[in-house]
Amino acid sequence: MHIAFTPQRRNGALTVIRDGDKLRINGDLFSFISLPDGATIPAGDVPCEWITGPVERIDGEIHLTLILPHGPNPSQAVAFPSPIIDPPDGDIAVPFHLPAEEPSDVDA
């Protein structure tokens, strides 16, 4: 599996769990088991707001792109994320943006 990311300024978080050729994205299950090698599901045909672009099976591997939400001033790892290639089954370590801590009021 090859998961690329397209960063986008938006509220919310992205959780992804892999189970073979199935992904659970923010709780919703998407199965790509029946996608044959060399086939493409066109952009917009998968009913998932987090998948952007086509889903393809290339040389037996699923390739897709997910929206990576972030807040203002994301880290380099979130603004320019590396793809995740062949992650093991289970929770996928998606890059994430930690919001800056609000300064506390301190009496001097």
> Is residue 77 within a helix (H) or strand (E), and if so which, with residue range?
helix 76-79
**Within 13 Å of residue 97, how many CA atoms lie on the same side as its CB?**
22
Using DSSP bridges, classify how beta strands 2-9 and 61-70 pair: parallel, antiparallel or unpaired: parallel
Phi, psi of 68 (to 5 degrees): -110, 105
The DSSP secondary-structure symbol of 78 reads H
pLDDT, tens digit only, all 108 positions of the chain: 999 999 999 988 999 999 999 999 999 999 999 999 999 999 999 999 999 999 999 999 999 999 999 988 899 999 999 999 999 999 999 998 665 555 455 555
pLDDT at position 70 is: 93
Q: In the prediction, which pLDDT does 12 show? A: 86
